[in-house]
Chains A and B, each alone.
Chain A
């Protein structure tokens, strides 16, 4: 049932040499950079008058709303050390949301439709949790794998290791499965009844895009917070 469909990036001469998910990811990145550039144009023109926002909805005010919303989520979950993590969480949130939504536009594929992109995001979060943990606690960060009672260590270490290594697997497969499954079913419905019935599927796709982005960044923040606090008490995350 896999036939070649029209993809917009096939029309761009350099991009069609790349695999589809890489080319569409480049489209997402270019789109986000263009929006960011348009939002900060006033800052470059006259920085002194920049503090007064305009009264209407422009790129700048919309961008500020989005960033403030993300910052609120980060501060609610990470406590007072929130703004340190704003860069990675904000980048992940914007990239994943734009990728998920890009697949709903005809002529584009989602980069997050493949396990490659979602695995990359999940492995980034995994490496960063350990980086933040080691930066915070030093080498004693690895003592959390021992568990509360010392002579139970040969039992606790494999369990903790499996629990740690299953995190990027579950993050990546959850995002991949949701987006790929949703777009696949929407594609099948498009093939069956191309008129008006795919609309509920696309609304569901938009909802899934928002919820999956939220779940990804909330879980990432939970992992960061867990690495920072050092696991004084036993907590297992799914």
Chain B
């Protein structure tokens, strides 16, 4: 009885989620894009620039963070008792690397809002 109730609830949740997604897609299609004053080729350049900018930044950021994370995990594997002292500088290092990706995200957002 309990499992049937849970199954029913999960199915309802999935159906509502799918319905919400379908409704949102339909609404976005009927809205249409507001026309800015820029010529079309400038808009193309803005779109390509924004997309590639954040993509390359995410790629570079992921590589950098993975190297830092690898070293931190090696250190914890050698010395599991020091994991607290290793994790704190690791988090700080990850946040510093991520801030560079965030700068690129900001530039992409600025570009997208100019569209």
Tell me the A residues contacting B by CB distance below 8 Å.
170, 173-174, 176-178, 181, 184, 191-197, 211-212, 214-215, 218, 238
A195 touches B99 (CB 8 A): no
Q: Quote the shortest CB–CB distance from A197 to chain B (angstroms).
A: 7
17 contacts between A and B (CB under 8 A): A177-B103, A177-B106, A178-B98, A178-B99, A181-B106, A184-B109, A191-B24, A192-B24, A193-B20, A194-B20, A195-B13, A195-B17, A211-B91, A214-B91, A215-B95, A218-B92, A238-B96
Asked if B105 is an interface residue, CB under 8 A from chain A, the answer is: yes
Chain B's closest residue to A170 (CB) is B99
Q: Quote the shortest CB–CB distance from B39 to chain A (angstroms).
A: 22
4 additional A-B pairs beyond A170-B99, A215-B91, beta carbons within 8 Å, are A177-B105, A178-B99, A181-B102, A191-B24
B98 touches A173 (CB 8 A): no
Specify the main secondary structure of chain B where it touches its partner.
Answer: helix
What are the nearest 4 A-B pairs in CB distance?
Answer: A177-B102, A174-B99, A215-B95, A195-B17
Total residues of chain B contacting the partner, CB 8 A = 17
User: Using Cβ atoms and an 8 Å threshold, which residues of chain A touch B91?
Assistant: 211, 214-215
B17 touches A193 (CB 8 A): yes
Chain A's closest residue to B27 (CB) is A191
Asked if B21 is an interface residue, CB under 8 A from chain A, the answer is: yes
Q: Quote the shortest CB–CB distance from A132 to chain B (angstroms).
A: 22
Chain B's closest residue to A115 (CB) is B106
Residues in B11-26 with C-beta less than 8 Å from chain A: 13, 16-17, 20-21, 24
Assuming the contacts A177-B105, A181-B109, asked whether A196 and B96 have C-beta atoms less than 8 A apart, the reply is no
User: Using Cβ atoms and an 8 Å threshold, which residues of chain B touch A184?
Assistant: 109
A196 touches B13 (CB 8 A): yes
Scoring B residues 74 to 109 as 1 if CB is less than 8 Å from chain A, else 0, what string do you get? 000000000000000001100110110011011001
Task: Pick the residue among A176, A195, A211 that contacts B95 (CB under 8 A).
Answer: A211
Scoring B residues 55 to 91 as 1 if CB is less than 8 Å from chain A, else 0, what string do you get? 0000000000000000000000000000000000001
Task: Pick the residue among A178, A191, A196, A214 that contacts B92 (CB under 8 A).
Answer: A214
Docked CA distance A162–B91 (Å)? 26
B103 touches A173 (CB 8 A): yes
User: Using Cβ atoms and an 8 Å threshold, which residues of chain A touch B103?
Assistant: 173, 177
User: Using Cβ atoms and an 8 Å threshold, which residues of chain A touch B106?
Assistant: 173, 176-177, 181
